[in-house]
Chains A and B, each alone.
Chain A
Amino acid sequence: MKGRFWVLHYISGGILFILLLGHIFMMHFYKFLLKLQPGYEPMEWEAVIERAKNVSLVTIYIFFLLFALFHGLYGLKNILIETNFGRRFERGIVFLFWIIGIILFAFGTFTTIKAGGAG
């Protein structure tokens, strides 16, 4: 697609809409869900390990991390480049954000897979 990243920005935004709201409902609205399914505590160590061993959840998490990092860092890069200050350093800022994105993605994937293997 010849480097048209902003199309991916919109598409990842649409996918993140579903994944992120789902993530919040599972993790934080659990008192609401406790009424439907008693004994559901997502923050306890046992539940964490159980989720880390579930292969389909792990793949969803890796894609979730990829899209979220791309969408967020691309948006922040746009905000910085739109200021008069950031105009001069456009290439430097793009390079820096690539590096930050790769480091964060590598760390996130590494811990997700390691938590599934050990523990």
Chain B
Amino acid sequence: MKKKNYRGFKAWFLPERGANFERWLFTLHRITGIILILYLSLHIFVVGSRAFGKESWINTMKLVGSIGEGFYHNLIKTLEYLLVLAVGFHAINGLRLLITEFGILLGKPRRPEYPYVASSLKNPKVFLYFLMILFFVYFLLGFQEFFLLK
């Protein structure tokens, strides 16, 4: 009797000791992707209400809290900011994947020499740092837009 020994979803959230940074980027990319596609399905219906006249548009905007003041409006604004961050992360990580998944910037195959440092993990690090700075700038711009400007 053989026991099935799959790690399952734990491997997404609890990688082994000494795991590399890209494991976490993989998990976050998947989670933001799921959030975005679920949001898109609802977004189509919200934006589609403008086809049914001015009244339906204004009612829908009031329902989702884009117009108005108070606690509900601020809560929706915070959630929208988180969504904008999720879009930014998924887009920037997607750009990284689009470039590295075709073998660009990964280095050439060569004779392995001890200690074995994998070139596919070391060579794109510079690109990764550049993209992290880009994401940080996006984060600050969004924060200024949503919470500081009037």
- In-complex A–B contact (CB below 8 Å): yes
- Which residues between 66 and 104 of chain B lie within 8 Å of chain A, taking CB atoms? 66-67, 80, 84, 87-88, 91, 94-95, 98, 101
A43 near B61: Cβ-Cβ < 8 Å: yes
A111 near B145: Cβ-Cβ < 8 Å: no
Interface size, chain B (Cβ < 8 Å): 38
The bracket for how many chain A residues form the interface is 35 or more
A118 near B51: Cβ-Cβ < 8 Å: yes
B110 interface residue, CB < 8 Å from A?
Answer: no
Please judge, given known A-B contacts A31-B150, A48-B50, A119-B54, whether A13 and B98 are in contact too, CB under 8 Å.
Answer: yes
Mark A75-119 against chain B: 1 for CB-CB distance below 8 A, else 0.
110010000100000000000000000001001101110110011
A43 near B91: Cβ-Cβ < 8 Å: no
- Which residues between 50 and 92 of chain A lie within 8 Å of chain B, taking CB atoms? 52, 65, 68-69, 72-73, 75-76, 79, 84
B19 interface residue, CB < 8 Å from A?
Answer: no
Closest chain A CB from B1 CB (angstroms):
19
A24 interface residue, CB < 8 Å from B?
Answer: yes
Shortest Cβ distance from B33 into A: residue:
A75
A24 and B150 CA atoms in complex are apart in Å by: 18
